[in-house]
């Protein structure tokens, strides 16, 4: 049976170069980075080298990069501290954010009575920038939290535009960039975002490590207390091999970005063409079927299958060796509809199965032929 992995928006295969670098660190640099002896200093030097490298790709200073266990922890750190320590009382977001943001905001409403406003969405899931500008007229201390690339439908936020609106209205701007760091170049001197988050496993690095960009003099305080690691913002012994793995993964991602982006774009265009020709009644959710207005890494397809038969689709795909998801991987065990698709699809289309297919450099057009063939046979 053929094995096809089209769930790269959930997590990616680790590059061989990353595994080699991590293994070397685990074997040779096992000292605690907080120790003063040579073993500890060696580990500390590796962490700071990685921090400087990550900062250079974003055009920021190294002290603005804080290593975390991943995007979820980084989002929690920023949002909680913004309310607790920066005295933010009003947060503007959208109803199609990742649950790492939405569920954190739910808790902040309970614990701190923070006011949350949801920006209007266009029918395709695009942010209504005029409504955002209206919401920013609030006299309360405001933070905007909007993701750069939606992890389910691939819609892209104009971060430069949003950051300018925030600055004009004295608001802070946080963006979950988990789906974009390592896939798009970002100059954070041009994009005046105050905070962003990333996770290594989304760009062919290890799971369990990510980072928060926190612009200097922000005033944020720690979420995890203990030692003085990570500039005092994230206590706990650093996972040196994971941090080095993140650095090597990001280095490879940006050094090979042009060629790899072109390759994956070609895969996505080919997938769209095959769906349109072989399953003409299928539609693409959000902007994911538009090569110019969505990320090049994923598509979200609504398939013309009745509800009773649709319930077996993911099971049948799995039997055929095909990995994909009905929404974000965080919801894969749930029977509920995707909160993202619920916001943008009609009641009729919500009864049909929508599947996210996401691509990487390790995929091929032959795999696309196989997957579309399986889908077509199932529908027929």
Tokens 């990353």 identify what position? 18
Q: How far apart are CA 155 and CA 252, in angstroms?
A: 25
What single DSSP character describes residue 14? P
DSSP SS3 for 77: helix
Burial of 358 (0-12, 13-18, 19+ CB in 10 A): buried
Residue 111, token pair as written in the block: 């614990």
Taking CB atoms within 8 Å and a gap of at least 24, the contacts of 314-318 are 314/353, 314/355, 316/374, 316/378, 317/355, 317/371, 317/374, 317/375, 317/378
DSSP SS3 for 241: helix
**Residue of 187, 191, 239 whose CA lies nearest to 73:** 239
- Find the radius of gyration of the CA atoms of the chain: 21
**Residue of 4, 6, 5, 84 whose CA lies nearest to 358:** 6
Q: How far apart are CA 330 and CA 113, in angstroms?
A: 27
What single DSSP character describes residue 336? S
Q: Are 157 and 180 in contact (CB under 8 A)?
A: no
Tokens 């190294």 identify what position? 62
Q: How far apart are CA 310 and CA 294, in angstroms?
A: 26
DSSP SS3 for 311: coil
Q: Which of 166, 302, 324, 330 is catalytic?
A: 330
Q: Are 127 and 97 in contact (CB under 8 A)?
A: no
Whole-Å CA distances, 47 to 94, 187, 215, 241: 35, 22, 19, 9
Active site residue 330: yes
Beta bridge partners of 214: 195
Residues acting as catalytic residues: 330
């Amino acid at each position: 049976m053929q094995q096809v992995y089209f769930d790269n928006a959930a997590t990616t295969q680790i590059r061989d170069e990353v595994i080699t670098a991590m293994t070397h660190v685990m074997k040779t640099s096992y000292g605690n980075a907080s120790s003063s002896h040579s073993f500890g200093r060696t580990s500390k030097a590796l962490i700071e080298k990685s921090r400087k490298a990550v900062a250079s790709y974003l055009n920021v200073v190294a002290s603005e990069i804080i290593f975390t266990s991943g995007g979820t922890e980084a989002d929690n750190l920023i949002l909680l501290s913004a309310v607790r320590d920066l005295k933010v009382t009003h947060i503007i977001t959208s109803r199609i954010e990742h649950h790492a943001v939405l569920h954190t905001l739910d808790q902040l409403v309970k614990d701190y009575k923070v006011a949350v406003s949801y920006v209007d969405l266009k029918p395709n899931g695009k942010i209504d920038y005029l409504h955002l500008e209206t919401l920013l007229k609030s006299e309360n201390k405001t933070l905007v939290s909007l993701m750069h690339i939606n992890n389910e439908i691939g819609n892209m936020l104009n971060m430069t535009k949003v950051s300018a609106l925030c600055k004009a209205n004295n608001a802070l701007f946080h963006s979950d960039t988990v789906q974009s760091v390592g896939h798009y170049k970002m100059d954070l001197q041009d994009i005046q975002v105050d905070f962003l988050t990333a996770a290594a496993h989304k760009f062919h690095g290890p799971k369990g490590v990510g980072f928060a960009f926190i612009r200097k003099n922000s005033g944020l305080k720690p979420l995890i207390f203990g030692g003085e690691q990570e500039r005092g913002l994230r206590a706990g012994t650093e996972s040196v091999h994971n941090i080095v793995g993140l650095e090597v993964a990001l280095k490879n991602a940006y050094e090979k970005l042009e060629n790899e982006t072109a390759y994956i774009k070609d895969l996505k265009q080919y997938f769209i063409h095959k769906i349109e020709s072989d399953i003409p009644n299928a539609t693409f959710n959000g902007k994911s079927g538009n090569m110019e207005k969505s990320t090049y890494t994923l598509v979200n397809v609504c398939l013309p299958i009745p509800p009773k038969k649709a319930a077996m689709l993911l099971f049948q795909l799995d039997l055929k060796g095909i990995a994909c998801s009905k929404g974000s991987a965080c919801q894969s065990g749930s029977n509920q509809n995707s909160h993202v698709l619920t916001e943008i699809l009609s009641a009729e289309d919500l009864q049909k199965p929508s599947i996210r297919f996401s691509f990487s450099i390790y995929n091929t057009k032959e795999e696309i032929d196989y997957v579309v063939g399986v889908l077509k046979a199932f529908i027929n």
